[in-house]
């Protein structure tokens, strides 16, 4: 089963709440596309997984607002499995935070978080990743990766991984980084004749795409990368 939710609301402030229950043995692909232009948005989305349920969730955060987003996945049933991929572009003077929480309740559950964000202008982006393995969730796995790429001296980024482990018979791990554009990659592309601005955009697109790999809608993916290019061109100017 596959479904999409797309948001493009305007106004001063907006609150969004979504709850999805995934039954036994169900397989769900969930695509969330946030294109808000309201000044402030608070969004909370929760997925509850039963026995052997599988969730592949991709969130593309390409909004123009400030605010906070909570992504909450509860692996309730035995053998439940979920992967959450988040790709965010923050620009201008946005102040945005994304918290992705993956909680293993059932035995032999698997939860992976992959968050990628690019910051341009004077924007500030915070990634929080919370992995929690509850006592009794034996044989479970919880992994997370939070990576932020900054452009410009005034960009600010934070990547904060948290692991809460209450069971011994489990595996868990995390990775986090806040960096600027790789000079070696830039040098390689420019040595092949690409202008600096184009080389930078290619590096950034490649970085963000790691968080958007599961998007199979070609038109949506083209729109997303068009927005990336337009945002970066405006920043260059």
Per-residue pLDDT tens digits for 34-57: 888 778 889 999 999 999 999 999
**Confidence label for 215 from pLDDT (cuts 50, 70 and 90):** confident
Res. 185: pLDDT tops 80? no
Q: What is the mean pLDDT of residues 226-231?
A: 74
Instruction: Kindly report, residue by residue over 168-183, the tens digit of the pLDDT.
Output: 999 999 999 988 877 7
Statement: residue 237 has pLDDT above 60: no
pLDDT of residue 68: 94
Structure confidence at residue 81 (pLDDT): 98
pLDDT at 193 over 80: yes
3-state SS, one letter per residue, for the chain: CEEEEEECCCCCEEEEEEEEEECCCCEEEEEEEECCCCCEEEEEEEEEECCCCEEEEEEEECCCCEEEEEEEEEECCCCCEEEEEEEEEECCCCEEEEEEEEEECCCCCEEEEEEEEEECCCCEEEEEEEEEECCCCCCEEEEEEEEEEECCCCCEEEEEEEEEECCCCEEEEEEEEEEECCHHHHHHHHHCCCCHHHHHHHHHHHHHHCCCCCCCCHHHHHHHHHHHHHHHHHHHC
| Average of per-residue pLDDT across 203-212 | 76
Average pLDDT taken over every residue of the chain: 88
Q: What percent of the chain has pLDDT over 90?
A: 51
Whether residue 228 has pLDDT greater than 80: no
Q: What is the pLDDT at residue 189? A: 82
pLDDT, tens only, 18-31: 999 999 999 999 99
Q: Which pLDDT value is given to residue 84?
A: 95
- pLDDT of 123 reads 92
pLDDT at 235 over 70: no
């Amino acid at each position: 089963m596959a479904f999409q939710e797309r948001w493009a609301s305007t106004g001063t402030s907006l609150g969004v709440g979504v709850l999805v229950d995934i039954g036994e043995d169900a397989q769900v692909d969930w695509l969330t596309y946030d294109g808000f232009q309201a000044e402030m948005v608070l969004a909370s989305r929760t997925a509850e997984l039963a026995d052997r349920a599988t969730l592949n969730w991709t969130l593309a955060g390409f909004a123009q607002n400030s605010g906070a987003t909570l992504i909450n996945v509860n692996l309730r049933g035995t053998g439940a499995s979920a992967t959450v991929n988040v790709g965010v572009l923050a620009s201008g003077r946005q102040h945005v935070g994304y918290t992705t929480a993956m909680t293993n309740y059932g035995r032999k559950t698997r939860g992976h978080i992959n968050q990628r964000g690019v910051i341009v202008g004077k924007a500030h982006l915070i990634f929080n990743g919370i992995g929690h393995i509850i006592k009794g969730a034996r044989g479970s796995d919880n992994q997370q990766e939070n990576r932020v790429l900054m452009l410009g001296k005034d960009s600010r980024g934070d990547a904060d991984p948290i692991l809460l482990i209450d069971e011994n018979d489990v595996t868990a791990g995390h990775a986090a980084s806040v960096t600027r554009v790789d000079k070696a990659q830039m040098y390689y592309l420019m040595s092949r004749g690409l202008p600096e601005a184009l080389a930078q955009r290619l590096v950034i697109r490649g970085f963000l795409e790691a968080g958007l790999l599961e998007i199979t809608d070609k038109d949506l993916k083209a729109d997303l990368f068009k927005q990336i290019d337009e945002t970066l061109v405006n920043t260059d100017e």
